Structure 1
Amino acid sequence: MGIIYLASLLGVSACMLLLDARFRLFFWRDWRAAAIVVIVGVLFLLAWDVVGIVTGVFEMGASPGMTGILIAHELPIEEPVFLAFLVLCTMVIFTGAVRIIERRSDRADQAGQHEIDGADR
């Protein structure tokens, strides 16, 4: 029972990677750059967590769905997995939004070009 949260995080991460693979948005576009972004993002957010833990702002809550395994004081093993999912999800949404905006802009430019071409005739 204590692995439900970790398994859920891994499952939704796999789904996000499948979406990424389908549209080649982040890892499947440039896996080296994506790996660097995820690692730097997770390290930054873990540092943020550590500061919050040291200052007493963050505490680990008790949940029967968690493993109970700590990698540091008040820092469960699920936290870096969650942070990696958070970074991955953010980057897939961001790169997907950029692609949508670019395609809409390209279509608008093409439509405008067709209007100009038609006016010249």
Structure 2
Amino acid sequence: MPGLYLAVILASALGVLLLDRRWRLAAWAAPGRTLAAVGIGTAFFLIWDAAGIAAGVFVKGDSPLLVGIDLAPHLPLEEPFFLAFLSYLALVAWAGAHRLLERRRADAATSPSEAAR
């Protein structure tokens, strides 16, 4: 089923985007910084992939789930989408963890048991 891998990446990205919108973690909190971080992360990993491909470490396997379009030898069309998704997911996960830890810290500072110490 050609294109299934790309469809799953895009569906997963949509899910993360909806979580981000609901909790305003990244793109809805700071769209410019989010776009820059995802762009820089994607570019970094594409350079990493290029180095791995040139060294013969990374090779594209055959899969009926890929669209079948290569951007370069051993670099399928799906790779930049996956790398952008990976960068965005990491950013949203970091922002969510940061917010949770801040909230716990604030709750601990205002709790009666903390004030008694």
TM-score normalised by the chain length of structure 2: 0.95
**Residue of structure 2 equivalent to 1:119:** none
Alignment of 1:37-52 (within 5 A): 37-52=37-52
Which residue of structure 1 lines up, in the alignment, with residue 106 of structure 2?
A: 106
* AA of the residue aligned to 1:94: W
Q: Which secondary structure does the structure 1 equivalent of 2:59 belong to? A: coil
Aligned-residue offset at 1:52? 0.1
Shift of 1:115: 3.5
The structural deviation recorded for 1:43 is: 0.1
Residue segments in structure 2 that go unaligned for 5+ positions in a row: none
TM-score, scaled to structure 1: 0.92
TM-aligned CA deviation for residue 68 of structure 1: 1.1
Cα offset for 1:73?
Answer: 1.0
Residue 81 (structure 1) aligns with: 81
Partners of 2:73 and 2:52 in 1: CA distance: 12
What pairs up with 1:16-27 in 2 under 5 angstroms? 16-27=16-27
Q: Distance between the aligned counterparts of 2:49 and 2:114, measured in 1?
A: 53
Structure 1 residue ranges, 4+ long, deviating more than 4 angstroms after superposition? none
Ranges in structure 1 where 5+ consecutive residues have no aligned partner: 117-121
User: Secondary structure at 1:67's aligned position in 2?
Assistant: coil
1:67 is the counterpart of 2:67 = yes
What fraction of aligned residue pairs are identical, expressed as a percent? 41
**Of the two, which has the highest radius of gyration?**
1
For the aligned residues, what is the CA RMSD? 1.3
Task: Show CA shifts across 1:56-96 (max 9, x none).
Answer: 00000110010110011110000000001101111111000
